[in-house]
Amino acid sequence: MTGQGPEAVAERHHEGAPVVPQHLSTSAFGTDHPIGVAVLGMGNVGTEVVKILREHAEEMRQRVGAPLVLRGVAVRRTGVDRGIPAELLTTDAEALVGREDVDLVVEVMGGIDPARALIGAALRAGKSVVTANKALLADYTGELAAAAERSRADLYFEAAVAGAIPVVRPLIQSLSGDRVDRVVGIVNGTTNFILSAMAETGADYHATLAEATRLGYAEADPTADVEGYDAAAKAAILASLAFHTRVTAADVYREGIARISAEDLETAAAVGCTVKLLAICERIPGELSVAEGGKDRVSVRVYPALIPLKHPLSSVDGAFNAVVVEAENAGRLMFYGQGAGGAPTASAVMGDLVMAARNKFYGGRAPGESVYAELPIAPFGDTPTRYHVNLQVADRTGVLQAVAGEFADHGVSISTVRQEGHGAGARLVVVTHHAQESALADTVAALAELESVTSVTSVLRLEGTEE
């Protein structure tokens, strides 16, 4: 249809036939004209995407309106039998992306380089991109979204957060008429598997990590997962969408799970809680930030925390993921499902791919990056949190008074104190109300210096309470 004037377009439109707006088509898309797809990477996810494209071609054609045709797959090494025709495989990803007959690019290779350059090249050429690359998006969404904007291409990334679970699209589209106050998620399957197993077996962190590695739930180098980098990248993406503000991985406060002990999980169970690695994206209302002129601020953080067993995230076990979104009008929503794995992630990729292909075919675009709100990032110390502190103390009169005094001196209000044991085993368990993170941290540091406090045996944050 390229080259037809507006009249011809208008005519077809009155017949109810698919119309491709002039400016969107660089090649001519008709009902039988295929839409070419390049897949970059053939790991777990890429393999599943290729399989679906080949085995469900007719279904995809029906859903798009035109055939989706796999033009090629970029891999590190050819010559390995991957169950698809050898001529589809190439090590030259750049040439594949640049092919005239490639309209859509699926990036599932991961890592920053060369994914960043390849996606950039595709977008600059007006080719829509579907990516599952959270690390890349957490740092370079701005650059990639700008490239997409310039060429009117789409950048889709549902698969980058929480695998098969639709959470990116609901935040961008379904909640586009609401005000999101908080997003709290379990978005890393490895750490959730480890914490669930520790809670169940009573084993310590290192033994459980070893078991998770043996079972394939943790990678040989588990750093990105257990230190919270993976969750932090996803938190940055979620916060950007939720608050219409550009948030990068560097804006996310991050603690991993390596310091969580078997005793922490016992403590949790004793107080009707469990420990989860949470990605928390929170709007701090302007009235709490006079220094910022009353503008709302954004807090984004990843750390292991106690959550009450009655909280919906507490029962999300093993490799499952879940994301809770709290919005002004919608109230509390929860999205639950498989957050990783080849097939679930491929489901999210394919959903994006069908939408990107429909946009190519019918015209139209996915919503681009929305960062108009430009909310400032609150320093972690300003974040309101609650602490659950276990202290080993001297068994004598006045200890409680001294400990309570430290909390009061730092302006931290105590919710409950429990005294346990006697003699050398005497302990105090203190749960605070919400207070500024910095005040809580300072209080704990001061407690450690108290003569009557033998040791601070555990400090855990408490999330998901109504108080």
Q: Catalogue the active-site residues.
A: 234
Choose the binding region for a second copy from 76-84, 88-96, 274-282, 368-376 (rule: CB under 8 A): 368-376
Which of positions 124-153 make contact with a second copy (CB under 8 A)?
149-150, 152
Using the minimum distance from each CB to a second copy, give the nearer residue, 125 or 435. Answer: 125
Distance of CA 181 to CAs 211, 268, 385, Å?
38, 27, 15
Could you tell me the smallest distance in angstroms from the CB atom of residue 202 to a second copy? 22
Distance CA 414, CA 432 (A): 4
Task: Work out whether 24 is an interface residue with a second copy (CB under 8 A).
Answer: yes
Contacts of 160 (CB under 8 A, 6+ apart): 131, 132, 133, 134, 137, 168, 234, 237
Could you tell me the smallest distance in angstroms from the CB atom of residue 156 to a second copy? 10
Could you tell me the smallest distance in angstroms from the CB atom of residue 309 to a second copy? 12
How many Cα atoms within 13 Å fall on the side-chain side of residue 214? 6
Choose the binding region for a second copy from 220-228, 363-371, 378-386, 457-465 (rule: CB under 8 A): 363-371
Which of positions 25-54 make contact with a second copy (CB under 8 A)?
48, 52
Could you tell me the smallest distance in angstroms from the CB atom of residue 173 to a second copy? 6
> What string marks each residue from 328 to 347 as x (binds a second copy by CB under 8 A) or -?
xxxxxxxxxxx----xx-xx
Exposed, middle or buried: residue 211 (CB in 10 Å: 0-12, 13-18, 19+)?
A: middle
Using the minimum distance from each CB to a second copy, give the nearer residue, 106 or 435. Answer: 106
Task: Work out whether 13 is an interface residue with a second copy (CB under 8 A).
Answer: yes
Q: How far apart are the first and last CA of the chain?
A: 61
Choose the binding region for a second copy from 210-218, 261-269, 352-360, 403-411 (rule: CB under 8 A): 352-360
Task: Work out whether 307 is an interface residue with a second copy (CB under 8 A).
Answer: no
b/e for 124-145, b at 16 or more Cβ within 10 A? ebbbbbbbbbbbbbbbbbeebb
Which of positions 175-194 make contact with a second copy (CB under 8 A)?
175-179
45 is in an annotated binding site: yes
Tokens encoding 116? 């960043």
Could you tell me which of 382, 374, 180, 177 has the C-alpha nearest to residue 282?
Answer: 180
Judge whether 313 and 184 are in contact, CB under 8 Å.
Answer: yes
Judge whether 267 and 390 are in contact, CB under 8 Å.
Answer: yes
Using the minimum distance from each CB to a second copy, give the nearer residue, 148 or 439. Answer: 148
Which of positions 191-250 make contact with a second copy (CB under 8 A)?
244
Q: Which of 57, 288, 354, 402 binds a second copy (CB under 8 A)?
A: 354
390 is in an annotated binding site: no
Choose the binding region for a second copy from 18-26, 69-77, 84-92, 266-274 (rule: CB under 8 A): 18-26
137 is in an annotated binding site: no
Q: Which of 1, 27, 54, 63 binds a second copy (CB under 8 A)?
A: 63
Judge whether 69 and 35 are in contact, CB under 8 Å.
Answer: yes
Using the minimum distance from each CB to a second copy, give the nearer residue, 59 or 92. Answer: 59
One-letter identity of residue 231: A
Using the minimum distance from each CB to a second copy, give the nearer residue, 266 or 374. Answer: 374
Specify the 3-state DSSP secondary structure of 257: coil
Judge whether 147 and 167 are in contact, CB under 8 Å.
Answer: no
Choose the binding region for a second copy from 171-179, 208-216, 220-228, 414-422 (rule: CB under 8 A): 171-179
Could you tell me which of 443, 437, 459, 440 has the C-alpha nearest to residue 284?
Answer: 437
Q: Which residues are annotated as a binding site for NADPH?
A: 134
Q: Which residues are annotated as a binding site for L-homoserine?
A: 219
